[in-house]
Amino acid sequence: MSIEYTDESIDIRNYLRILRRRWIPATAIFTTVVALTALATFLQKSVFEAEGTLQLKQIGGVSTSDLNIKGIGGIEAVSGKSNPLATEVEILTSKPIIKQTIKTLKLQDEDGNLLEPDPFLEALTVTNIQNTDILSVAYKSLDPQEAVDVVNQLMQVYQANNVTVNRAEAASARKYIGQQVPLVTADLRRLDIALRRFKEENGITDLAAEARVQAEVTGDQQTEFSRVQSQMVKVRTEAQALRDKLGMTTEEARQVNELSQSPGVRGILEASQANEVLLAEARTLYGPNHPNVLALVDRQSELKSVLNQQVSQVVSSNVSQPLRNLQAGDSQQRLIDALVNAEVERLGLDQQAVALIENQEKYKRNQKFLPRLEQQLVAIEREQLVTQATYEGLLKALQEIQISENQNIGNVRIVAAASLPKKPIAPRKVFNLVVGVLLGSLLGIGMALLLEALDTSIKTVQEAKNIFQYTVLGNIPFLKDAEKMSRKGLDRPTPDLIVRDDPRSSVSESYRMLQANLKFLSSDHRVQVFVVTSSIPKEGKSTVVANLALVLVELGNRVLVIDADLRRPSQHQVWELPNTEGLSNVLVEQKGWSDVIREEDEHLDILTAGVIPPNPVPLIDSHHMAMLLEEFHQAYDYVLIDSPPLAVAADALLLGKMTDGILLVTRPGLVDSGSAQSAKDALERAGQKVLGLVINGVIPENEPDSYYYYYAQDYYGENSGGQQSKSARKKKKKKADVNAVDR
C-alpha cells in the first residue's frame, strides 16, 4: 500500500508562512520570555560554592563487629545491599551534626534566628566521588567566606564525632569482652571435669587405642576359635571312628568294663548281642518295617529290659541300649579306653569353644557400644576446643580493643579543606539567556501553531478553492507598501482606486486579468449585468466593483456602477460623490434614473444608493427593479451591481435572478470556513448562477506558490521604486490598502 503526501504536509515552508502570519504574538511571547529570563538572571544575587573532601578508611584495632567468637554478636548490615559510604553520607547530613555546625558558626536566617537544618541541607551537597572512598562536601551561600567556614566546620564536627563513636564502640566492646571472659573460663573448667569423669566411668584413657585392642583381641579369639573347632572336628572324628569300630558309646564302654565281671549280665548281654546281630541283618535285608525286624526289635526290647534290671543291680544306673561284647579282649579294651579318652578331650574342647564364643559376644557388644562412647567423647572434646578457642580469642581481642580504645583517631581524614571560591556558580548568565531564547522560541512557535489551529479562517488561495469549488477569475494581491487612510467623516479606511491611481501596478494588472476572464466565460453569451457580493462584510467587494469598472472603461466600454447595498452603501465614498439621491429614490419616488446618475467620466456612470430605506428587500425584489436593470442593459455595455454580503441579507440572491450571474468575492485571512460554506450553500439552494470567484487581498508570503506575485511586482517596478502614473502622483495623499475593507 502506497502512502501519498501532499505538498502542504511535507513542505516546511508552510510552517514559515504560519510564523509570518502569527509573528506578532510569537514575537511578543518570545520577547516576554527572554526579557523575564534576563531580568531574573540579572536580578539574582551571586551564589558561591565552597568544596572540601573527606577520605573514609578502615582503622586498625578490633570492634565487636570484627569478632567471630561464641557469645559475641557483631554489628551486621540489615541488608546485604547496604553501602557503607551511603551510610556515612547519612551520618554526615544527620541533624545532630548539622545543628552542632550551625551552633558553632552561629548561622542565622533573615529574622536573626539560628538557621534551621532544612534550609542548611538545601544548600549542602554531599556526593561520593565515583570508584573512590572519598566524599565531596559542598555548600552554597551568598557569602563566599561563609561557604568556606561551613564546609570546614562540618568536616571537623563529623571527624570529631567519628573519633568519639569509634572510641565508644571500643569501650563498649572491652566492657562486653571483660564480662564474657569469666563465663568462658567457667565453661572451659566444666568441660575439663566432664571429660575426666567420662573416661573414669567408661574405663578408657584412649578410646582409639581401646578400639584397636578390641579389634586385635577379637581377631585372636576368632583364630583360636577356628583352631578349637578344627581340633573338635578331629576328636569327634576319632571318637566316631572308635565308636563305629567298637559299636558302642563311651558310656557303654565304661559300663561294659563294670558289667563284664557279672555272670548274669554277661549271659543276657550275649543274648542281646546275638539278637542285635540278627536285627541288623534283618534291617539290611527287609527294611525297618518288616515283621521280622519288628519281632527282633521287640525281642531286643525285652532283652534290654532284663539287661537293664541286671545292670541296675551291678552299676546302679540304666543304660540306653543293650550292651554288647561284654567279653572284649585286650585290643578291644584298649579301643574302649581310647574312645573314653577321646570323649573326655571332646568335652574339654566343647567347653573351650563355649568360652571363646562368650568372649567374642562380649567384645562384639563392647565394639557396638564404642561408637556411642566415641560420639559422646567427640562432642565433649569439640565443645572443649571451641570454648578454648573462644577463650583465647577473647583474651586477644581484649588486648587489641584496649589498644584501639587508647587511640585518639578515627577512620575519617580530611583530604582537602575548602578554599575561598574565586567566582560564583550562579547565576549562569549565558546559559540562562540561551535557555530563555530557546524556551521563548519554543513557546512563540507553539503559540503561533496554536493560534493557527484555533483560527478557522481561510488563509490561502488553495483553501478558498477547496471550499467554494468555483472557477477563480482573479487573484487580487495585497501590497505591503499600500497605506490605509481615513477620509474625513468616515469611520473606516477607504481604499484608493488603484487602477486609476497606479495603472502600471501588479494590482491593476490583476483587475485586467479579472476582466479578461469575465470576457471569456461564455463564447455565445456575453456577461453584461452581474452582481458582486461576498460571504461576510469587509472582504473588499466594493473595491473590486470600482476597480473592475475602471478596467472595463479603459477598453472603451460604457460602464454603470450601481450601489445596491441599501443598508450600508459605500460607492459614494469610493468615488467621493454625494449620496442625497440614488437607487432608492428611483425605486421609491419613480424618478428617472438619468436624473440621479453621477457621471465620473464620459464612459463611467455611478448610481449611488441614495436615501437608506427602512426595509430594502421590497424595493430590490420588485418589478420596477427588474425593469430598471433591463433598461440599464440596453443603455450600457456593462452594469456592475454592488450588493450586501450573503451573511447580511438576501439582496444579492434576489438580484442574481435578474442578472447574468453573481461574482463572489472572498478574502483569505478574514472569512472563516464556516461562513464561506454557508455562503456557498445559500447560492446552491437559491440556484444562482455563479460566474466565478475573485480572491481579494492575497498575501504572497502566505501562498505556497507565490512566485507570480513577486515576478509581477518586479516586472511592474513595484519592488524597485518604479515611477507612478501622473494620476497617482496627484492623489498621493489618498494612498490606501488595495484590499482594505469596505465595511
DSSP 672: B
Between 334-348, 364-378, 477-491, 526-540, the lowest mean confidence (pLDDT) is in 477-491
pLDDT, one tens digit per residue, over 54-112 is 988 765 444 444 444 444 433 444 455 667 888 888 888 998 999 899 989 888 888 88
Q: What is the mean pLDDT of residues 242-248?
A: 69
pLDDT at 485: 35
* Under 8 Å between Cβ of 651 and 574: no
Cβ pair 250, 339 in contact under 8 A: yes
d(CA 271, CA 273): 5
CA 450 to chain centre: 33
3-state secondary structure 84-116: HHHHHHHHHCCHHHHHHHHHHHCCECCCCCECC
- Nearest-angstrom CA–CA distance, 491 and 501: 23
Main-chain phi, psi angles of 81, to 5 degrees: -95, 5
Winning range, highest mean pLDDT, from 278-287, 390-399, 567-576, 699-708: 567-576
Q: Which pLDDT value is given to residue 32?
A: 92
Nearest to 533 by CA among 437, 651, 422: 651
Query: pLDDT digits over 675-703, tens only?
Result: 889 999 999 999 999 999 999 988 776 67
Confidence of residue 705 (pLDDT cuts 50, 70, 90): low
Residue 3 backbone zone (phi > 0: left; psi -120 to 50: alpha; other: beta): beta
Question: Over 60: is that where the pLDDT of 4 sits?
Answer: no
Phi, psi of 645 (to 5 degrees): -65, 155
The 3-state DSSP class for residue 321 equals coil
Res 577: pLDDT? 93
Separation of first and last alpha carbons in the chain: 51
**Is residue 641 over pLDDT 90?**
yes
Cell numbers of 625, please?
Answer: 427593479
- Report residue 248 as a C-alpha cell: 558302642
Residue 623 CA to its chain's centroid (Å): 81
pLDDT of 2 reads: 36
> In angstroms, how far is CA 738 from the centroid of its own chain?
61
Residues 6+ apart with CB under 8 A from 629: 529, 639, 658, 659
Q: Catalogue the E-assigned strands of 18-175.
A: 48-56, 124-128, 134-141
pLDDT at 6: 45
Report pLDDT for 681. 93
Q: Which of 275-279, 456-460, 489-493 bottoms out in mean pLDDT, i.e. has the lowest?
A: 489-493
- Of 707 and 693, the structure prediction assigns the larger pLDDT to 693
Q: pLDDT over 70 for what percent of the chain?
A: 72
- The pLDDT assigned to 721 comes to 40
Question: Could you tell me which residues come within 8 angstroms of residue 32 by beta carbon, excluding any fewer than 6 positions away?
Answer: 440
More confident residue, 659 or 320: 659
- Reduced to 3 states (helix: H, G, I; strand: E, B; else coil), residue 499 is helix
Q: Which CA distances in Å does 207 have to 42, 182, 191?
A: 94, 31, 18
Nearest one of 625, 630, 684 to 653, comparing CA atoms: 684
State how far Cα 88 lies from the chain centre. Answer: 29
| 591 or 326, higher pLDDT | 591
pTM value is: 0.49
Q: With residue 319 as reference, give the H or E element that holds it.
A: none
Q: What is the C-alpha separation between 720 and 716, in angstroms, rounded?
A: 9
The pLDDT value recorded for residue 194 is: 77
What is the model's pLDDT at position 373? 65
Domain covering 456-726: architecture: 3-Layer(aba) Sandwich (3.40)
* Cell 577473647 found at: 394
- Three-state DSSP at 530 gives strand
Instruction: Give the model's pLDDT for residue 220.
Output: 67
Cell 503561533 belongs to which residue? Answer: 448
In this prediction, residue 215 has a pLDDT band, given cuts at 50, 70 and 90, of: low
What amino acid is encoded at 294 in this protein? L
Cell numbers placing 125: 551537597
**CA–CA separation, 75 and 84 (whole Å):** 13
The single residue listed with the C-alpha cell 556526593 is 127
Please state the rounded mean pLDDT for residues 478-489: 45
Q: DSSP assignment of 166-188, as one string?
A: HHHHHHHHHHHHHHHHHHHHHHH
Q: What is the pLDDT of residues 18-45, one digit of tens each?
A: 777 778 888 999 899 989 988 888 888 8
> Which position has the higher pLDDT, 203 or 222?
222
Question: Is the pLDDT assigned to residue 229 strictly greater than 60?
Answer: yes
Asked whether 405 and 397 are in contact (CB, 8 A), the reply is no
Find residue 560's DSSP bridge partners: 605, 639
Contacts for 589-594 with beta carbons within 8 Å, 24 or more apart?
A: 590/624, 593/628, 593/631, 593/632
664: left (phi over 0), alpha (psi -120 to 50) or beta: beta
Which residue matches cell numbers 466565478?
692
Of the ranges 31-35, 352-356, 568-572, which one carries the lowest mean pLDDT score? Answer: 352-356
Cell representation of residue 276: 542285635
Q: What is the mean pLDDT of residues 381-402?
A: 80
Among the listed ranges 132-146, 394-408, 573-587, 712-726, which one has the minimum average pLDDT value?
Answer: 712-726
In terms of DSSP bridges, do strands 472-477 and 690-698 run parallel, antiparallel, or are they unpaired? parallel
Mean pLDDT of 615-634: 92
Q: Tell me: pLDDT of 556 over 80.
A: yes
Report the distance separating Cα 487 and Cα 740, nearest Å.
13
Residue type, 135: L
What is residue 542's predicted lDDT score, i.e. its pLDDT? 93
Q: Which whole number is the average pLDDT over 363-375?
A: 62
What confidence tens digit (pLDDT) does each residue in 297-331 have? 888 788 777 777 776 766 655 544 444 455 455 56
d(CA 269, CA 321): 11
Averaged pLDDT of the chain: 77
Q: How far apart are CA 718 and CA 729, in angstroms?
A: 15
628 Cα distance to chain centroid:
82
Q: Are 449 and 19 in contact (CB under 8 A)?
A: no
Residue 721 has what DSSP assignment? Answer: T
Q: What is the pLDDT of residues 165-206, one digit of tens each?
A: 777 777 777 778 877 888 888 887 887 787 777 767 666 666
- Longest alpha-carbon distance in the chain: 210
